[in-house]
Copies of this chain bind each other. A is one copy, B any other.
Amino acid sequence: MDEIITLDYGSGGKKTSGLIEKMILPAWKNPALSELGDGAVLKGAPEIVFSTDSFVVDPLFFPGGDIGKLAVCGTLNDVAMCGGIPKYLSCSFIIEEGLRAEELEKIIASMKKAAGSAGVQIVTGDTKVVEKGRGDGIYINTSGIGFLKHPGLSPGNIRPGDAVIVSGTVGDHGTAVMLARNGMLQSELKSDCADLSGLADLVLSSAGGPGKIRVLRDPTRGGAATTLNEFIENTGLCIELDENRIPVRSEVFAACEILGLDPLYCANEGKMICICSLDAADKTVEIMRGTKEGENAAIIGTVSEKYPGSVVMKTAAGGSRILRKLTGAQLPRIC
């Protein structure tokens, strides 16, 4: 391996093989990947969950994570939110010529760690290299396959009276990345980047029977406010939030003040929003709080028919505010 990645490493020839055999295979070793075929042949299941995401976060390394951990957790979480147990990941790198091999190695190690602790295998991949100035260090696509364990989750299940739960503090990832990007590193503020597949399975398995959990989603780009809007747009339903009940870290609150951001529109990478029937709400929060990822879980609102199609928040000051979908590019390249 050279010290920097050159265009040669994307040629499909010797250098590409070298990169795969010397850096990737030793880290991610598993039988499917080691075949180095055009794809991987895998044990399947009657129903599968399939998801994809490309990660372009800037900077590549930030407090609480890096693009590799994010690329693994982000896709695992999407599979988990659909009721799947994640099993396999693909990984495709688009590297900008000039990336230091050492950085790539750190990213690969971070992906290994994240995938390993989630019990998933990275089974197939691809590496492209683009010229200097045609990328930004590295972009990573992961696609994930899971086996469906909890069928039927959908915003279409949401009913008036349902509870709105968030699994923890909002806005951690977005503010941590924005601070890191601006060189304002603050040791207390970390991305929440985490694998939620265990938590999602636990909630879906234990929260009081099939159908009680209506839908799960991880509020990444656009933040919690955008996800809640996605749930009820084009329906006759309303989500009423109580600002006092929404968990926000004081550091996040302070950083948002400085950056002119709203935690409800900041990306999260280790939180989920759960809509469930009212009678399952306390139990669900209790289950979440028993885990590391869900220790700050809270009921933050209810579903009603008061303002059809709107997310409305009772503010801490006692007023009320309509939360629409994120408009514009508040936080580009956050994930």
Contact = CB atoms under 8 A, between A and B. Distances in A.
Nearest to A17: B325
Nearest to A330: B11
Given A47-B44, A53-B126, A37 B88 contact: no
Interface stretch (A220-228, A291-299, A305-313): A220-228
A232 interface: no
Contacts of A249: none
Contact of A332 (B7, B42, B55, B217): B7
Contacts of A14: 324-327
Contacts of A139: 94, 128, 130, 139
Nearest to A37: B82
A81 B38 contact: yes
A79 to B, nearest CB: 6
Contacts of A236: none
Q: Which of A125, A151, A267 has the most CB of B within 10 A?
A: A125
A14 to B, nearest CB: 5
A134 interface: yes
A329 interface: yes
Contacts of A62: none
Interface in A22-51: 35-51
Interface string A129-165: 1110111100101011111100101100000000000
A282 B230 CA distance: 58
A241 interface: no
A214 to B, nearest CB: 13
A41 B94 contact: no
Given A135-B135, A136-B130, A143-B143, A52 B82 contact: no
Contacts of A88: 50
A221 B12 contact: yes
B141 A226 contact: no
B94 A38 contact: no
A77 interface: yes
A220 B12 contact: yes
Contact of A46 (B39, B44, B130): B44
A126 to B, nearest CB: 5
B83 A11 contact: no
A15 interface: yes
Given A11-B331, A38-B218, A141 B54 contact: yes
Given A39-B82, A81-B38, A145-B48, A8 B90 contact: no
Interface of A: 6-8, 10-17, 35-56, 77-79, 81-84, 88, 90-94, 123-126, 128-131, 133-136, 139, 141, 143-148, 151, 153-154, 217-218, 220-222, 226, 230, 267, 324-333
6 contacts: A8-B329, A37-B81, A39-B79, A44-B44, A56-B94, A133-B133
Task: List 8 A-B pairs, minimum CB-CB distance, nearest first.
Answer: A12-B221, A13-B326, A39-B51, A143-B143, A52-B90, A12-B222, A38-B78, A141-B141
